Amino acid sequence: MEPKVVYETDRLLVRNWAAADGDRVFDIYRRWEVARWLGADPKVMTDRESANRVIDRWNERGQEAPYGVWAVHERATGTVAGTVLLVPLPEPSDGTASKGEVEVGWHFHPDAWGRGLATEAARGAIEHGFKAGLPQIYAVVRPDNGASLAVCRRLGMRSLGRTSRWYDAELESFLL
């Protein structure tokens, strides 16, 4: 069964994950240069079976539109370049009430870096969210992640400064 395409851009098909994507997921998330930017306590993926479990979890998250964690499939190469996500932010860690904030994010294999694919995929996710009626979309980025900070600027997101509101980490926050 073919994975469901969520949206398309000029160069990309953004779709649900397939079991056949497991090797690529493992190849992306086993790398410290990718994993170092993810979560409050970054860790690399240590075994191939973890990729299968994460694919199942991501596809479950995509059951409630417009949210999801999707594969970014390059049309030209037929390769999964990375991941784009549009998900509710977690309950704030600063004790304030959640306001239903939604986050756009991206994680790409190093062989896909520097070609504008993260910006293109994130722009599509943002458009997908706004078409579904979301009033605003955040991005949260580690302060030393220059590449992702640049993606936020290219997307036209407004910097809100540093916050520890989510993920138990100090992050740069952006809003569109």
Is 108:118 a contact under the CB 8 Å cutoff? Answer: yes
* 103-122 mean pLDDT: 97
State the distance between the two ends of the chain, measured CA to CA, in whole angstroms.
35
Torsion angles phi and psi, residue 8, rounded to 5: -125, 150
Beta strands in the chain (DSSP E): 5-8, 12-15, 68-74, 80-88, 102-108, 138-141, 158-163, 171-175
Q: What is the pLDDT of residue 111?
A: 97
The pLDDT tens digits of the residues spanning 143-169 come to 999 999 999 999 999 999 999 888 888
pLDDT at residue 123 tops 90: yes
Instruction: Tell me: pLDDT of 93 over 80.
Output: no
What is the per-residue pLDDT for 104?
98
Closest C-alpha among 107, 101, 63 to residue 82: 107
Beta strand 68-74 pairing with 12-15 = antiparallel
- Return the pLDDT at 56: 93
Domains of the chain: 5-175 (3.40.630.30)
User: For 13-49, how does the pLDDT look when each residue is reduced to its tens digit (9 = 90+)?
Assistant: 999 999 999 999 999 999 999 999 998 889 999 999 9
Q: Rounded distance, CA 21 to CA 27, Å?
A: 10
Q: CA 109 → CA 76, 115, 130, distances in Å?
A: 16, 12, 27
Rounded distance between C-alpha atoms, residue 99 and residue 61, angstroms: 19
Whether 6 shows a pLDDT value over 70: the answer reads: yes
Radius of gyration of the chain (CA): 15
Give dist(CA 57, CA 53) in Å, integer: 6
What's the helix, strand, coil split of the chain in %, to 5?
30, 25, 40
Which pLDDT value is given to residue 39? 83
- Contact by Cβ (8 Å): 72, 12: yes
More confident residue, 91 or 32: 32
